[in-house]
Structure 1
Amino acid sequence: MLLTNQARLFYGSPLSRPRNAVLISIVLAVLIAISASSLIKQFSRVTPVAFQVFFIAVAATILLTLFTLAILWFLDRREPESRWLYLIAVLWGALIATGLALPISGYMHAAVDSYVKVHPNVQAILGADAGKILGAPIAAPLVEDTTKGLGVLLLFWLLRAEFDGVRDGFIYGALIGLGFNLFEAPLFVMRTFIQTGDAPLAFQLGDRFAVFGLDGHPLYAGLFGMGLGLARQTTRRWLRYAAPVGGWLLGYSAHFLNDALVLIVYLYTFITTGKPLHVESTPGDVSEMTQSFFSVWVSHSALRLLGFFPFFLIVGVMLWQSGIWERQVIREGLADETEPVITPEEYEQVKGDRIFRTRRIPHLKGRTSRAIVRAQNELAIRKWRVKHIGQSVESDPLVASWRDELLRLRG
């Protein structure tokens, strides 16, 4: 049984049932309409020059995003997801997550501003920007991590055949976070340009793509994705429910800490000195527009690696463990297979696979070799998934399809 790529993608998905597909499509259409309306409002009364600044920022953000995509593609090399899924995840972050988050965050910021106006003691501590300083850690982490997380959750639910474990979860979450940066960073550059005449392109991109673009929104959403992936991977019932909650809370905590740093500095200064922090700007200050991207990137990468070390450590350890898990599942899944699925020489390569090594089929062209390796890995992971849920491997259509795909590739 040779299934098409689309059939494999939607195998076992609620979308494979017509009634569910119609209902889910309607819900997605409503979300897209709300997001589109929200994004269009951001460009009302925008001058042509501001539009130009926005599109320059979009072009620069896309270039940096490609570099981060290459890192994620390398992480995904043993069992690469469909390029359509990459595109869907990025578009969710760029168009839906941002479009849903902007108006809700705006309402929450307005509520905080109203609170500050009737509590002058708060403004006395935090200064003229009290509403912004207090509103950022309240609104952004809660709203943005929820709208991004909704996209990861939908992929987990709707495309369960393509969501196998921790590594898949991190990749999907990071892609949605990248998409969020893809729209929000140019929007912040444009807003600052409209307000001050200064376009902080180097600062925004240097900050958002610190740590090779795996900091910020990709990190926050990636942590939630890892929690979902662990829930898919584990055999412990309590962990299936605890892991997604824990992953979201970790992403939220990292985001909250990032947005609350200014608030913490102001509060610390007031508590230790009894006086509010007084920030003066001098004519000699360097404009954000003229700051070097490289200097911003280096300094912010160092600060994030130091300040967010526990979160990066969690990601690093879980990705390392996921690599061990993948190689073990592939070895065990292919151990009882014979030709034409895999030859004895190829299985020796499987046993010799290492963390940074990607095996190749000798004496075959690169494209065919990659296709065979991918099909073998997909077969092994699918066999693990079927056994994991207590079903018969030999009667599974996807297992049969990958075996037939290998026969076709050998043909």
Structure 2
Amino acid sequence: MSSRVLPIDVMRVSPDLEPLRSEVRAFLDSEIRRGAFTPQCDSWLTGWDEPFSRRLAEQGWVGMTIPRRYGGQGRTVLDRQVVLEELLAAGAPVAAHWIADRQTAPSLLRYGSEQQRAEFLPEIAAGRCYFAIGMSEPDSGSDLASVRTRAVRVAGGWRLTGTKVWTSGAHRAQWFFVLARSAPDSGERHAGLSQFIVNLRAEGVTVRPIRLLTGEHEFNEVRLDGVFVPDRYVLGEIGSGWGQVTSELGYERSGPERLLTTFPLLAALVSEVRRRADRDPAAVVEIGALTSRLLTLRQLSLSVAGVLAAGKPADVAAALVKDLGTRFEQEVAERARILADEMLDPDAAPGTFTGHLVRGLLHSPGYTLRGGTNEVLRGVVAKALERA
């Protein structure tokens, strides 16, 4: 059964946007029919397909909210949301451009120099420039304020030394944003941090794989050994890195990819439950409960997107989306496992119910870890509620 069934069909944003949704669906259905890709869970992180990203860009569906003067479409957040939902529902291979489109472009628009915008934004919108994220470090977990990567001032720029981990796509991307300590520790953990735009092919950069349970290579450890970064690649202001990176996290944690990672599995599960509805009415109730939760979470994600589009901080609300959404994704995989009426075949073909189930289960431990562990994010939300 196509993924274009409950619940994506009731996820209406606005009647005016339905022609766009239909256009995206037709494109994706055509790509699937001609064998361009096989729908999969977690495709926004693991589905790296540069030609596909460029084909999306040719349709105007990458860099949609980037202003036209920088090569984008100048469209609204809701336009982009419709496209993202359809890409995720179809399990399309969008990993190559995802981070650049999701958070690099908005950060460049907000904090980047005119030179940086002119250099990177047109290439991002064309689906040709790919970024990774250099935040997390060994032994630091989700505590970004404890970063130990150092940036030392030298003639004409900075030299960076340190290690970043869980850097998605660093072995394929061309660039990444690096959060580093650019001033001695003053006792104020959030002071003295800065962001830098680092070429992943620069001298002194070493990328080592961190493999998933499936053996796939998506995450990396990136070592920086005195990497020179010219002044023109300082992002924003020196010393303002904490405020910049927390605003960036709002984009990273609140999008529909924190709800729809396992949507291809959910759609396949709906088909399985419908097939046996007469003999398993309890499963129908389970599907109804999952669907209602998804629709509620989707509304929360949309509301955060609106806040970010208005240029307002949304790090706390984004943390809430990420916590609730990724737990929901894990539950989809677990409920599908319980409701499955067949033995799991680890060699099942991708795109089948069993294939989606195996992949969803194997990838599910990472859902609540990447982008900040949920336990830490609950602390962020709790502290905000305490201050309120």
TM-score by length of 1: 0.31
More strand by share: 2
TM-score by length of 2: 0.32
Q: Which has the higher contact order (CA 8 A, sep 6+)?
A: 1
Q: Which has the higher helix share?
A: 1
